[in-house]
Amino acid sequence: MKVQRIPKGTIRLLILLLSGFCVAQILSTVHLYFSNTAFHDKLMAVHHAGYLAVPNMQVAPHLNDWTSAFNGGLFFSLTSGLALTIFSIFAAWVRFNLSWEKTVPIILNLIWVAGLIMVNRNGFSSLITAYLIFIPCTILPFFRKLFSCLSSCNDQLPAKFSLFFHVLLFVLFSIGCASQMKVEKFLDIRDFLFLGNPTGEAINAFYYDNSLYSANYFKSFSQKLIKTCDLESLRDKQLKQQIRRILNYHDYLSLESFAQADLKTTVQDDMICLSHQKKIILTVSVQDFLRSTKQYIHLFESKTDRHAIFRIITMASLLFVGAILLYSITFLLPFLLTKNVLNPAWSVVTAALICILILVVLLGVKGSNKINDLKHVAAALKSEDSITRIKALRYIVDQTMDITLFPESETLAINGTIPERYWIAKALSRSRNPDSRNTLLRLLEDNHFNVVCMALHSMGKQGRKTDIPIILEKIQSSNNWYVQWYAYKALRNLGWYQKIMN
């Protein structure tokens, strides 16, 4: 039996992808390490001032670890880093294979410069800027060396045809997938793939354990739980106390003489200046600021949001890289089956068409689960099939039904699978039955953090202020940053706000 060898072109392409990924990972690790250490210093200042720090002192030491920076950096490297690598490879191919020798480099350079300007239009966004500089500058010389034969050969029409056909079909494939993809599809992936087996659970845990390191790097102030402010320059004690109380309510905690405060205030001639990193962001009269604090805080947060474009690029890259991976996997099998029968160009065309047909059919399949009234929900919850029960619970949440109407939920809350307990915890947010609190308290001690997060979410939605001490204790005792994040949001939903606790 003849052993199939991996084509040299495929190996070279993998080398390019790996080199771009390695550059992205080095850059993201270094950036996140310094971001994490700065965040650690802020947390320690918040803690020593007597405020509630999130994450707590069990998690905070991990912010100084290179391992946390590396793991958190994988999110950026596998999304925007890998997407920029793919675009850089394509740009290099265009640069060395199109006949417009003078025009193509000019167009590519203009796109590159425009990208650099766009990502920094609201302030310097260092990581994505480093990506845009170092990834293309790594890929271009590597491509020139690995694929030098392409620029000297004029008989590459089949290869060029295959590439452009791939691009065209991938665009059509992406449009088709986008038209079919709905929230339910993503929920299916999480509930039945990531939470349905040990390997998926391990991937899920790794993501949630490390994603907040990267998320914290490029969140705007409006998205962060805790911010700091410096009011030391305010001489009017009454005004200072008033502004401190207002800013604390918006999660800007007053830290005296903290050099790295997110917001610094100064007052001169009845005008208040809001500064960030020694730069005046906003100047407004004191009376207007006190009258419309929320409006001016939001304006300040908008003007200091340096990473807005980076967040958009990262989310778009997540979808793009996911689509590329899905396309590549489903393309590979038909290609291997047809490559020995057809010539290379037609083998690519046939495999691509089969790939798109398979994926469109799979994504277009609608669930056979038909639940549209109380009778069907009750029957589904009694089913022996876990998938049917999960879909019934999701239907209860979507229809904002009271889950306590179904006695089966009590048993599932104890013995159900992880997705079942998760959806029960979420459904309880709508329940006003006094017995629902006991179920929530039981789920609050669940051994899976996703379930605990939803229990905390529901506690915040139910509006019982008597739950505040329980949630505070959860923040202080938990070693999971994600659980603490949900707990803090629940506290704020219950009307709690920061004040010095000791």
Amino acid (one-letter) located at 91? A
Sign, Cα dihedral of 276, 277, 283, 289 = positive
Could you give the CA distance from residue 466 to residue 490 in angstroms, rounded to a whole number? Answer: 12
C-alpha angle 392/393/395, rounded to 5°?
65
Structural domains for the chain: 8-203+309-363 (no CATH), 222-304 (3.40.50), 374-493 (1.25.10.10)
**214: its two tokens:** 């990267």
Question: Mean pLDDT, to the nearest integer, of 346-362?
Answer: 74
Q: Edge-to-edge, what's the strand order for the sheet holding 263-268?
A: 252-254, 227-230, 263-268, 271-276, 279-285
Task: Calculate the alpha carbon distances from 427 to 247, 351, 404, 413, 456 in Å.
Answer: 34, 44, 9, 11, 12
Residue 182 pLDDT exceeds 50? yes
Question: Which residues, other chains included, contact 438 with Cβ-Cβ below 8 Å and sequence gap of 6+?
Answer: none
Could you give the CA distance from residue 131 to residue 434 in angstroms, rounded to a whole number? Answer: 53
Q: Which of the 8 DSSP states describes residue 6?
A: P
User: What would the pLDDT profile of 151-164 be if each residue is shown by its tens digit?
Assistant: 545 445 455 666 67
Per-chain mean pLDDT for the chain: 86
- The owner of tokens 């990506």 is 131
Residue 96: pLDDT band (50, 70, 90) is confident
Task: Calculate the alpha carbon distances from 192 to 57, 359, 390 in Å.
Answer: 34, 18, 9
Question: Mean pLDDT, to the nearest integer, of 67-76?
Answer: 96
User: What would the pLDDT profile of 394-435 be if each residue is shown by its tens digit?
Assistant: 999 988 888 988 888 888 999 999 999 999 999 999 888 888
User: What would the pLDDT profile of 446-490 be if each residue is shown by its tens digit?
Assistant: 999 999 999 999 999 998 999 999 999 999 999 999 999 999 999
pLDDT at position 3: 45
Could you give the CA distance from residue 199 to residue 418 in angstroms, rounded to a whole number? Answer: 14
Amino acid (one-letter) located at 306? R
Question: Mean pLDDT, to the nearest integer, of 97-123?
Answer: 86
Rounded to whole angstroms, the maximal C-alpha distance in the chain is: 88
Residue 206 pLDDT exceeds 50? yes
Residues across the chain: 502
Query: Poorest-confidence range of 69-73, 97-101, 331-335?
Result: 97-101
Task: Calculate the alpha carbon distances from 198 to 119, 290, 497 in Å.
Answer: 39, 53, 39
Question: Which residues, other chains included, contact 499 with Cβ-Cβ below 8 Å and sequence gap of 6+?
Answer: 51, 248
Question: Mean pLDDT, to the nearest integer, of 257-281?
Answer: 90
Question: Mean pLDDT, to the nearest integer, of 164-182?
Answer: 68
User: What would the pLDDT profile of 275-327 be if each residue is shown by its tens digit?
Assistant: 998 899 999 999 999 999 999 999 999 999 999 999 999 999 998 888 888 77
pLDDT at position 339: 75
Question: Mean pLDDT, to the nearest integer, of 78-84?
Answer: 96
Question: Which residues, other chains included, contact 175 with Cβ-Cβ below 8 Å and sequence gap of 6+?
Answer: none
Q: Name which residue leads in pLDDT, 133 or 501.
A: 133
The SS3 of residue 306 is coil
10 Å CB burial of residue 497 (0-12, 13-18, 19+) is: exposed
pLDDT at position 25: 98
Could you give the CA distance from residue 389 to residue 378 in angstroms, rounded to a whole number? Answer: 9
Share of the chain above pLDDT 70, in %: 88
Nearest residue to 320 (alpha-carbon basis) of 185, 174, 189, 179: 174
Question: Mean pLDDT, to the nearest integer, of 367-383?
Answer: 72
DSSP-assigned states of every residue in 127-187: HHHHHHHHHHHHHHHHHHHHTHHHHH-S--HHHHHHHHHHHHHHHHHHHHHHHH--HHHHH
pLDDT at position 1: 40
Task: Calculate the alpha carbon distances from 92 to 42, 84, 131, 442 in Å.
Answer: 43, 12, 16, 57
Q: Which of the 8 DSSP states describes residue 366?
A: P
